[in-house]
Amino acid sequence: MVTQGYVTIDHHQIKKWVHERSGWPAMKASRFTVRESDKVLSIGFTGCENDELLIPISWEEFFKKFDEQNLAFMYEDQDASGYLSLQYKFM
């Protein structure tokens, strides 16, 4: 089964997708991140082993950075087995 990907900049659609998967907005730092500006947007998922470098943030802060960086959200609704997919990417 081939999965279908979508791209959106709609805040409501992104929030809906994340909430349906028990997710939350976050920033991710690497072990080498020193400056605040080096952190990147991410999404954490409840019940998944998340990298310890994920920092929860508010939706307001998330979408402020999303818009400032002129990003789009690429995602799948379902995986190849028909389950809710956790696959996403910022472009």
**Cα 29 from chain centre:** 14
- Tell me whether residue 75 is exposed, middle or buried, using C-beta atoms within 10 angstroms of its C-beta: 0 to 12, 13 to 18, 19 or more: buried
Residue at 39: amino acid letter: K
Measured over the CA atoms of residue 38, residue 43, residue 49 and residue 55, the dihedral's sign is positive
Tens digit of each residue's pLDDT, the chain (91 residues): 446 899 999 999 999 999 999 999 999 876 555 555 667 899 999 877 656 678 899 999 999 999 999 999 999 999 889 899 999 999 9
**Where in the chain are the domains?**
5-90
Q: Is 6 helix (H, G, I), strand (E, B) or coil?
A: strand
Cβ atoms 6, 76 nearer than 8 A: yes
**pTM of structure:** 0.84
